[in-house]
Amino acid sequence: MHLQNCPEFKLFLEYAPAAIAMFDREMRYIAASRRWLKNFGFIQGSLTDCYHYEVFPGTSEKWKAVHERCLTGYAESGEADSIVQSDGSLEWVKWESNPWYTQDGDIGGTIFFFEKISERKPLEPSLLEGSKEDFQKLAANLPGDIYQEDNYQVRFRELAEREKLLNRVANQIRHSLDLDTVIETAIQEIQKLLQIDRCNFCWYKPDVDPPIWEAIKEEKNPNLPSLLGFYPATVVGSVTQQLLNQEIIRIDNVADLSDSIHRQFLQALGFQSEIVLPLKTLSGEIGIVVCGHCTHPRPWKDSEVELLQAVISQLAIAINQALPYTQAHHAAITAQNQALQLEKTLEQLETTQNQLLQSEKMSSLGHLLAGVAHEINNPVNFIFGNLVHASGYIEDLLGLLKLYQQTYPEATPEIREEMDAIDLDFLILDLPKLLSSMKVGADRIREIVRSLRIFSRHDEAQMEAVDIHEGIDSTLMILQSRLKYSPVHSGIEVIKNYGHLPLIECHAGQINQAFMNLLANAIDALEEHWSKDNFAIKNSQLAMSATPYLRHNSLKESKILVPQIHIRTEVLDNGCIAIHIIDNGPGMTSEVQKRLFEPFFTTKPIGVGTGLGLSISHQIVVEKHCGKLLCFSEPGKGTEFVLEIPILQSKNNITCGAKL
């Protein structure tokens, strides 16, 4: 230590009217006042470099613990405690312990203050005055404000408070790497210790035009407004350049400030006194601690400036330690968010891929159906066209045969034998019926072909006005085999209640695909719910109650209930049409309804469904046609899907999603 060679420091130790000792971290004496040496029976300088525990081997564990706690930053005091002197006797003292700090901000050791109270006697007034005068002379030669006017112990208590504040800031450095917490602690302690109206921390932001000061933290009296926010450097005034030069701004009275811009700025904020201390981080960022008083002008003491400088030094160390952690933390959060976004993107890509695959399957099915319909249509047209001629020819031949019978009523034995063999009378009666049946079959084939062609329309490039009912009928035609009687169920009844709909502007093929998905989903539900094994049980439970299903009382009421799908269409007042597809299946819970249109969500067994049908239908109706796809259901009361589609897409100003 270089203090021993300082004449002023030696003078201080000689005349300080208190027992003060300074120790290093190992409790080795660095310095001791004359009063300390006298109280414990030593001469000047005789304790330097000695270990306290060797000089006082009977030191209790209590004082060792006080020293250890002090090395961690804790300041302590006591009003009446005992110590063991060198001769083994006990002495009652009043005491304080504080850590002292090196220039690097580390705790270098401890300082102890003792005052004997065993034989405390009042001082004579003359002695008191003499001591006071001597100490005033000493204080005039020492750096800093060491002595207060009324009592030297006031200054020691201020120093103790300063050490406590520095201790708390230092503790924050050791125990937290959170930048916000470090700054908040510092300004809270400054505002509390100096008893000022407000204390703010600001960062300088040079990358904007004009540069700004951003107030990010504040501690203030509750009745004052918040000053957090952004302040252009041009409004703050010329002090910005001083702060960038790491100069301290110290204003005892704002009214006396010569810088008119900064004076007006402070007056607008309600400041009457201000002190600003800058700091610079290792990365080059400039921050400031702003202390302000608003109720009246407050002259700043040199000791307060020294205290703030010490706090700023500690705060700079804390910020330099916390910034890399904060930056790494932000980088980790950014990386995590990017990973989540990437995961979400991958899920979307997987969903899109499966939807494209499903759409491609439907497109391939459409191409196949279109090809099959085309191939069937030609021979059917040939058969249908020739049936007309065949009917005419047969009628002519039968007429000629009747004429022969009238002209030659007596047939030869050979002819009569052939007539009996071919049952001519039955043939004459049945042949026209046969031709009529063939015509019905040909009509049926033509109807199926027409349905296939309607269902497989290729209209991805543009929309066209179509008859929605034709699309529904064509879909039902394709699903006809699943609606008829089967080993699974006794047949599904389809009830149509079509309204008077205009032609609808849409992508007909995609709308038909939505119909296919919804109707197939209804059939699946009905096959499960109305299986032959459960048919009699369900009818016995439901036949006695004619409870209608769902919102519109749409399903047919009957004494014996059967699986039904009710399709109803109507024109709405909002320029849309609505298609209701209702079944009397098992229904579904609200939890299932919430996830109904999620990709890959299905209630079917593994391997039975892909979970994409309703998701694709929702995308077709909502995103492609700016419509709505709604579901209403309750367990045991069936399910109703409602498709709402605008009549004219060209007049719909809503921008829908990307094309499937």
Please tell me the least confidently modeled range out of 102-111, 243-252, 432-441: 432-441
- Strand locations in 189-281 (E): 198-205, 212-220, 229-232, 249-251, 273-280
Q: Which residues does 159 contact at the CB level (< 8 Å), separation at least 6?
A: 98
Domain ranges of the chain: 3-173, 176-300, 330-454, 480-651
Q: Where residue 487 falls among pLDDT bands split at 50, 70, 90? A: low
What is the architecture of the domain spanning 480-651?
2-Layer Sandwich (3.30)
Model pLDDT for residues 526-583, shown as the tens digit of each residue: 887 776 445 545 554 544 443 444 444 444 444 446 889 999 999 999 899 999 999 9
Q: Tell me the mean pLDDT in the region 48-66.
A: 79
More confident residue, 118 or 55: 55
Give burial (CB, 10 Å; 0-12/13-18/19+) of 53.
middle
Do domains 176-300 and 480-651 share one topology? The answer is no
Within 493-561, residue ranges assigned H as helices are 508-529, 532-542
Range picked from 61-70, 251-260, 344-353, 585-594 for highest mean pLDDT: 251-260
Q: What is the pLDDT of residue 362?
A: 57
Q: Percent of the chain having pLDDT more than 90?
A: 20
Q: What is the pLDDT of residue 146?
A: 40
Q: Are 397 and 360 in contact (CB under 8 A)?
A: no
| Nearest of 580, 470, 578 to residue 519 by alpha carbon | 580
Q: Where residue 58 falls among pLDDT bands split at 50, 70, 90? A: low
Structure tokens at 202: 């600001």
Q: What is the pLDDT of residue 456?
A: 59
CA distance 316 to 286: 10
Model pLDDT for residues 388-413, shown as the tens digit of each residue: 788 888 888 888 888 888 888 888 88
Structure tokens at 67: 């020293």
CATH assignment, 3-173? 3.30.450.20
Structure tokens at 108: 């270098």
Q: Are 580 and 569 in contact (CB under 8 A)?
A: yes
pTM of the shown model: 0.39
Range picked from 121-125, 215-219, 636-640 for highest mean pLDDT: 215-219
Res 135 pLDDT > 50: no
Q: Are 629 and 557 in contact (CB under 8 A)?
A: no
DSSP labels, 258-298: S-HHHHHHHHHHT-SEEEEEEEE-TTS-EEEEEEEE-SS--
Model pLDDT for residues 20-32, shown as the tens digit of each residue: 889 999 999 888 8
210: preceding bond cis by omega (within 30 degrees): yes
CATH assignment, 176-300? 3.30.450.40
Res 117 pLDDT > 50: yes
Q: Tell me the mean pLDDT in the region 404-428.
A: 85
More confident residue, 130 or 55: 55
Q: What is the pLDDT of residue 592?
A: 86
Range picked from 134-143, 596-605, 606-615 for highest mean pLDDT: 596-605
Q: Where residue 441 falls among pLDDT bands split at 50, 70, 90? A: confident
Q: What is the pLDDT of residue 558?
A: 43
CA distance 530 to 88: 103
